[in-house]
């Protein structure tokens, strides 16, 4: 049976462990390393599909948990699936709901059969299981589905983490069995285990033996220091098959994207660009700035001299400053557009640096200009 999702390795950077690749899915292919804009509720906040295409977004992410609760997977199925519902004809990845349950809901009760919790919007009692998470994603019709996992809180004891990893592995097996459309939708396993090398190894071995078409690393960027995340990547990515996509969930900031790519990660997602855009924080080639700052009231230059996005091409810092201060929705569109384009452009620069075998040099240049090297 041909797999719905496959990875094509193009080359590995001679200066670092980063790899250039292409992921093929039923709704088209995208180059890696790739950043996936997050569209939790079937929209990348304030962006139209045309604008996402204009900024060269190859794939976007949406959430099982949120779409199950509202509008309902049945509604989206009736609409012809998530691609049709949101008018996006490129690849979509859906997260499984596991993480959202653990991060959004109170009163959760984790059992072998699944998780009992309350609807974070109205307090109704709910239950989510591996089988249910698969059924919802089959209804949504995403190209890449995520297995139902437990993303334990940070920090967690080794003892708790061990039992959690073992349950997540049993849940992964149940996801594979419950998957109704493997020929149309790729299902990725999620490696957990926190910062414990032995547990990451156990989780990876359990999941690799189940032969998923792709693998994610979960349970990182949950508040641990960056060096803890980088070290966890250094002992986890080598355990993941080289001929399949590697996806680091919930990451991230520009430095984490570069450092993740250097450690062999192909796919990333993070709400950061659109989340910080809503309060006027912008990522630029010379570091972060908050456009609400009074210094920008009469600054008629672009947000970022080096950016060619719609915002930087057509509007000034002063204008965006005014819109955000006046709480104008168009201001949030302009800041979101720029931040998404910034990260998508960054991944384009990372891919080019891999082609030229100089990602290590690029890291130094970018960190220096952005101010990551400042003590």
Q: Which residue has the tokens 């670092």?
A: 16
Active site residue 269: yes
Cβ at position 62, least distance to ligand BPQ in Å: 12
By CB under 6 A, which span of 25-33, 96-104, 230-238, 347-355 interacts with ligand BPQ? 96-104
Find the catalytic residue in 139, 206, 266, 269: 269
Run of H or E residues at 214: strand 214-217
Among 312, 343, 344, 347, binds Zn ion (CB under 5 A): 312
Q: Which is nearer to Zn ion, 243 or 314 (CB)?
A: 314
Is beta strand 281-284 parallel, antiparallel or unpaired with respect to 267-269?
Answer: unpaired
The one segment of 62-70, 249-257, 315-323, 336-344 that binds Zn ion by CB under 5 A: 336-344
Q: Which stretch binds Zn ion (CB under 5 A): 199-207, 306-314, 352-360, 364-372?
A: 306-314
Q: Does 338 bind Zn ion (CB under 5 A)?
A: yes
Closest distance between Zn ion and the C-beta of residue 313, in Å? 8
Of 218, 264, 273, 280, the one binding ligand BPQ (CB under 6 A) is 218
Q: Which helix (H) or strand (E) holds 12?
A: strand 6-12
DSSP state at residue 120: T
Q: Decide whether 152 or 280 has the Cβ nearer to ligand BPQ.
A: 152
Q: Could you confirm whether 361 is annotated as catalytic?
A: no
Which residues in 127-186 contact ligand BPQ (CB under 6 A)?
Answer: 146, 149, 151
Contact 3, 186 (CB under 8 A): yes
Q: What does the alpha-carbon distance between residue 269 and residue 38 come to, in Å, rounded to a whole number?
A: 7
193: left (phi over 0), alpha (psi -120 to 50) or beta: left
Cβ within 8 Å of residue 298, ≥6 positions away: 318
Whose Cβ is closer to ligand BPQ: residue 99's or residue 337's? Answer: 99
- The alpha-helical segments, DSSP class H, found in the chain are 49-54, 64-69, 73-78, 82-85, 98-104, 130-140, 158-178, 197-208, 226-236, 254-262, 272-277, 310-314, 317-325, 329-355, 359-370
Q: Counting Cβ atoms within 10 Å, is residue 286 exposed (0-12), middle (13-18) or buried (19+)?
A: exposed
**What is the nearest approach in angstroms of ligand BPQ to the Cβ of residue 223?**
7
The residues of the shown chain that bind ligand BPQ, judged by CB under 6 A, are: 95-96, 98-99, 146, 149, 151, 190, 218-222, 249-250
Annotated catalytic residues are 95, 269
The residues of the shown chain that bind Zn ion, judged by CB under 5 A, are: 307, 309, 311-312, 338
């Amino acid at each position: 049976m041909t797999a719905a999702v496959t990875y094509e390795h193009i080359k590995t950077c001679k200066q670092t462990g980063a790899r250039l690749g292409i992921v093929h899915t039923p709704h088209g292919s995208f180059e890696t390393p790739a950043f996936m804009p997050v569209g939790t509720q079937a929209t990348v906040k304030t962006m139209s599909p045309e604008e996402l295409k204009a900024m060269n977004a190859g794939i976007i992410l949406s959430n099982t948990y949120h779409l199950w609760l509202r509008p309902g997977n049945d509604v989206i199925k009736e609409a012809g699936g998530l691609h049709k519902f949101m008018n996006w004809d490129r690849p979509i990845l859906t997260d499984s709901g596991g993480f959202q349950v653990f991060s959004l809901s109170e009163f959760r009760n984790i059992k072998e059969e699944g998780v009992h919790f309350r609807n974070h919007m109205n307090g109704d009692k709910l239950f989510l299981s591996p089988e249910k998470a698969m059924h919802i994603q089959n209804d949504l019709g995403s190209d890449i589905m995520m297995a139902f996992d437990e993303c334990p809180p940070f920090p967690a004891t080794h003892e708790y983490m061990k039992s959690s990893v073992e349950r997540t592995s049993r849940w992964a097996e149940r996801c594979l069995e419950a998957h109704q459309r493997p020929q149309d939708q790729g299902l990725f396993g999620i490696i957990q285990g926190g910062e414990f090398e032995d547990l990451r190894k156990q989780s990876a071995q359990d999941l690799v033996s189940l032969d998923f078409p792709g693998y994610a690393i979960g349970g990182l960027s949950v508040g641990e220091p960056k060096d803890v995340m980088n070290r966890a990547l250094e002992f986890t990515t080598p355990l993941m098959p080289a001929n399949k996509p590697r996806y680091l969930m919930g990451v991230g900031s520009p430095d984490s994207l570069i450092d993740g790519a250097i450690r062999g990660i192909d796919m990333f997602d993070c709400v950061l660009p659109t989340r910080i855009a809503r309060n006027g924080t912008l990522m630029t080639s010379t570091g972060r700035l908050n456009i609400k700052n009074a210094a920008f009231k009469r600054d008629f230059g672009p947000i970022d001299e080096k950016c060619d996005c719609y915002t930087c091409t057509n509007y000034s810092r002063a204008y965006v400053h005014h819109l955000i201060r006046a709480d104008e929705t168009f201001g949030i569109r302009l800041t979101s557009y720029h931040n998404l384009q910034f990260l998508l452009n960054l991944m384009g620069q990372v891919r080019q640096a891999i082609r030229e075998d100089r990602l290590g040099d690029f890291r130094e240049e970018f960190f220096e200009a952005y101010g990551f090297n400042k003590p």
